[in-house]
A and B are shown apart, each in its own frame.
Chain A
Amino acid sequence: MGAEHLPTSEFEIVELEQALAASDPADAPDMVQLLDADGVLQFDARFSPFAEHLDAEALRGLYRDMFLVRRFDQEATALQRQGQLALWPPLLGQEAAQIGSGRALQPQDYVFPTYREHGVALTRGLQLSSLLKLFRGITNGGWDPREKNFHIYTLVLAAQTLHAVGYAMGIQRDQEDAVSVAYFGDGASSEGDVHESMVFAASNQSPVVFFCQNNHWAISVPTEVQSRIPLSNRASGYGFPGIRVDGNDVVAVHAVTRWALEHARSGKGPVLIEAFTYRMSAHTTADDPTKYRLSSEEAEWRQRDPLSRLAKHLRGAGTGDTFFDEVAAEGEAMASAVRAEVLAMEGPEFEQSFETVYADPHPLVAEELAWHRKYEAGFADTDRSGEGN
């Protein structure tokens, strides 16, 4: 699998280090933005070359992806409210961060998501309804990770960042032209596994991109509690570049991620991207953001909505209603299909829980399964579904 090699950037780690050395580490770094809140394209000498290929058709494609995943997210939230899912972590507001980065990946790259990367899943070509199996209580996975190089969701925060680095160490040994991408959030950035993963990645100069979505809230706790310096500045402590990008600007996220992937793919080691975004909805459907944050803050971020920003640009450049109507109709059809698929999802037979504990035969599991079968057989003539719970 040959990677698509991109134009080399002038931007090197030395520049970043010099910039950091000259300033207070707590100072906010420059935030890369290529599409401003009014939908006007901005030029950036370092990163605009990595967005040059985005013509009108490609930008419409990114808009479509963001629209579809937002509609999917809305449907999943509704399904949870209707009792069809136990829980749902909405991605509302983070569409640009996820679609922009996901669309920069090559098929041979491997993604290690948290549990909110529904947009990245879409870009990898996963059947979206499979993301809901975990939240419907049918499986702890939901898809074969090897099919689309998209690992299952990891709920133990940051555990997957180490798996991503180990995977990248494997890529190095196999001399494959691939990059491993670890997604995590501002809250998880405090976990020791993020630190260890960055140490291992730097030590091995592994092809890893750490993609941190700083959505400003770890459930109810703001980013300031996790870090006294901008998260992207942390990379310099490990000796690799860290870049803050406007996470609501799909063009900038895409360009920065392409640069980072190229950097990692060409053997220059890891990169940390901090996508500066906002979780416009709750942490999960079990959460109540009115208890910890101001509605004025939410209103302020709505002004920076990733979809309306790109829509403004597209309309300004001549994309008409027909396109937006078509995408809306596609979204409705997709949402209905997802709903139908979810309602048809049945739980597994309990016996299947015994079958996958170990890869090789195991006497205790076999013994307990045999016991359970016998026990169940004793109730063969009785309907006792749900009784006694």
Chain B
Amino acid sequence: MATMTIAKAITAGLRRALAEDPKTLLMGEDIGALGGVYRVTEGLQEEFGKDRVVDSPLAESGIIGTAIGLAMRGYRPVCEIQFDGFVFPAFNQITTQLAKIHARTSGQVSAPVVVRIPYGGGIGSIEHHSESPEALFAHTAGLRIITPSNAHDAYWMTQQAVASNDPVIVFEPKRRYWLKGEVDTEQAGLDAFSAAVLREGTDATVVAYGPLVPVALAAAEAAEEDGNSVEVIDLRSISPIDFDTVTASVQKTGRLIVAHEAPTFGGIGGEIAARVSERAFLSLEAPVLRVGGFHMPYPVAKVEEHYLPDIDRILEALDRSLAY
């Protein structure tokens, strides 16, 4: 066991992936001498050399497009996109090429490329630095999308993403990069595509992922004081979604709230609500409720606290759910 921040747990996960497989490469903007704008790759270029920790030209489509070519030669590139809002120049390469190459070649060519994207708000930053675009990628078949919420998962899910034979996007909760936690470097525990029940409860289930997991846990804590027992699930994988774990919980509690920073319209919460209503309709005591961002561009830093779901927003949804 070691105590690490999420950022350093990712660094350790990347270091281990680089050490274990000479075909693993890191690529991205400023990831070498600087160690990335969040220092996640700090020290790795020094340790593994410039051919394996590559400072790429400043072009996101170029990073993903060349990673695909490297993957075709047997490499396992791990690409860093500097910020969530800067992934869009690479959207074409990710959705039309990376996601589809396995299907387009009838399974003859796979593209085990990892795309790491720091995402989400709450850091008081300028525009395009606080977005949560996961639903845009979840809609594309061929991609896998995961998001760790704690240091242990960050360490292991990074390595599990590298080991996957499919392209994996890892959305990293940037405002939690400095959140410390225990990391068991011997035992992974869950695979990357399973959800985790973090807190058991009987009255309602709250599903959250990434940066909102600590918020959901705090909301459950507060609800407990009011006499309500809330189960909290860390979704961990956004595509695929572990519906067995979510459904089992809802069958027990009868109520479900899904919380994410991304806008609710067309989001992951809507997908979970639809699937759970199909799988556990007769168990539901109330409509599935969503807590999330509004249908607007991510707001400026001075007002972002009103946009971001917090403990009260989750408790308000819980009250509405329990009132049915």
Q: Give the chain B neighbours of A199 by CB distance below 8 A.
A: 57, 59, 62
Cβ-defined contact, A357 with B62, below 8 A: no
Interface size on A, residues (CB 8 A): 44
A137-170 toward B: CB 8 Å interface, digit per residue (1/0)?
0011100111000011010100101111111111
Q: State how many residues of chain B have any CB contact under 8 Å with chain A.
A: 46
- Which residues of A lie under 8 Å from residue B112 when comparing CB positions? 359
Q: Which of B98-106, B169-177, B208-216, B298-306 contacts A (4 or more CB under 8 A)?
A: B98-106
A363 located at the interface, meaning its Cβ lies under 8 Å from any Cβ of chain B in the complex: yes
A210 to B287, CA, bound (A): 57
Do B59 and A163 have beta carbons less than 8 Å apart? no
Q: Does A355 sit at the interface, judged by CB under 8 A?
A: yes
In chain A, positions 347-364 with a C-beta closer than 8 Å to chain B are 352-353, 355-360, 362-364
Mask for B88-123, Cβ within 8 A of A = 1, else 0? Answer: 010011001100101111111110100000000000
- A217 CB to closest chain B CB, in angstroms? 24
Is the beta-carbon distance between B106 and A173 smaller than 8 angstroms?
Answer: no
Establish whether residues B62 and A145, one from each chain, have CB atoms under 8 Å apart when the complex forms.
no
Do the beta carbons of B51 and A200 come within 8 Å of each other? Answer: no
Q: Which of A199-234 contact B (CB under 8 A)?
A: 199-200, 203
Whole-angstrom CA separation of A192 from B144 in the bound complex? 26
Question: Which B residues lie within 8 Å of A146 (CB)?
Answer: 108-109
Q: Is the CB of B72 within 8 A of A196?
A: no
Bound CA–CA A166/B74 (angstroms): 11
0 or 1 for each of B41-59: is its CB under 8 Å from A? (1 = yes): 0000000000100001101
CB pair A165–B65 under 8 Å, yes or no, is yes
Q: Which residues of the other chain, A, contact B103 by a CB distance below 8 angstroms?
A: 140, 353, 356-357
CB distance from A94 to the nearest CB of B (A): 24
| Chain A residue, CB-CB nearest to B113 | A166
Q: Does A197 contact B (CB under 8 A)?
A: yes
Residue A174 at the B interface, CB < 8 A? yes
Choice from B66, B104, B106, B110 contacting A166 with Cβ under 8 Å:
B66
List B contacts of A145 (CB < 8 A): 72, 105, 108-109
Contact of A162 among B62, B73, B106 (CB under 8 A): B62
Minimum CB–CB distance from A192 to chain B (whole Å) comes to 6
Taking the closest CB of chain B, its distance from the CB of A181, in whole angstroms, is 12
A327 at the interface (CB under 8 A from B): no
User: CB-CB < 8 A to B144: which residues of A?
Assistant: 358, 362
A134 to nearest B CB, angstroms?
9
> Counting CB contacts under 8 A, is A180 at the interface?
yes
- Using CB atoms, name the residue of chain B closest to A353: B103
A152 and B104 in contact, given A162-B68, A165-B65 (Cβ under 8 angstroms): yes
Question: CA separation between A169 and B56, bound complex, in Å?
Answer: 12
CB contact between B165 and one of A163, A167, A360 (< 8 Å): that residue: A360
Taking a contact as CB atoms under 8 Å apart, the answer to whether A363 and B240 are in contact is yes
Q: Is B202 an interface residue (CB 8 A)?
A: no
CA distance A111 to B82 in the complex (A): 31
Contact B104 A140 (CB under 8 A): yes
A355 and B66 alpha carbons, distance in the complex (Å):
26
Contacts A141-B108, A156-B96, A170-B75; A200 near B61 (Cβ below 8 A): no
User: Contact between B65 and A144 (Cβ–Cβ < 8 Å)?
Assistant: no
The reply on A171 being an interface residue by CB < 8 A is: yes
Report the minimal beta-carbon distance from B31 to chain A, rounded to whole angstroms.
15
Instruction: Using A162-B65, A163-B65, A200-B59 as known contacts, say yes or no to A170 and B166 having CB atoms under 8 A apart.
Output: no
Q: How far is the CA of A362 from the CA of B105 in the complex (A)?
A: 18
CB distance from A198 to the nearest CB of B (A): 10
Return A109 CB to nearest CB of chain B, in Å: 13
| Chain B residue nearest to A208 in the complex (CB) | B69
Q: Give the shortest distance, in Å, between B272 (CB) and chain A (any CB).
A: 13
B66 touches A162 (CB 8 A): yes
Complex: A363 Cα to B59 Cα, angstroms: 34
Is B10 engaged at the interface, CB distance under 8 Å to the other chain?
A: no
Expressed in whole angstroms, the minimum distance between the Cβ of B195 and any Cβ of chain A is 12
Question: A163-B65, A192-B61 are known contacts. Are A170 and B104 too (CB-CB below 8 A)?
Answer: no
Closest to B164 in A: A360
Contact of A17 with B by CB under 8 A: no
- Give the complex CA separation of A193 and B97 in angstroms: 12
Smallest Cβ-Cβ distance to A159: which chain B residue: B97
Given the known A-B contacts A162-B93, A359-B102, are A170 and B69 also in contact in the complex, defined by CB atoms under 8 Å?
A: yes
B219 at the interface (CB under 8 A from A): no
Contact of B72 with A173 in the complex, beta carbons under 8 Å: no
**Neighbouring B residues of A352 by C-beta, 8 Å:** 106
Contact A200 B66 (CB under 8 A): yes
Measuring CB to CB, which residues of chain B are less than 8 angstroms from any residue of chain A? Answer: 51, 56-57, 59, 61-62, 64-75, 89, 92-93, 96-97, 100, 102-110, 112, 141-142, 144, 164-166, 193, 239-243
29 contacts between A and B (CB under 8 A): A140-B100, A140-B103, A144-B105, A145-B72, A152-B105, A156-B97, A163-B65, A163-B68, A165-B65, A166-B71, A167-B69, A169-B70, A170-B72, A170-B75, A173-B75, A174-B73, A193-B61, A196-B59, A196-B62, A197-B65, A200-B56, A352-B106, A353-B103, A357-B103, A358-B142, A359-B110, A359-B112, A363-B240, A365-B141
Q: Given A163-B69, A193-B93, A365-B141, output 20 extra A-B contacts at Cβ < 8 Å.
A: A145-B105, A145-B108, A145-B109, A146-B108, A156-B92, A162-B62, A162-B66, A162-B68, A163-B72, A163-B97, A166-B66, A166-B68, A173-B51, A193-B92, A199-B62, A357-B102, A358-B102, A358-B144, A359-B166, A364-B241
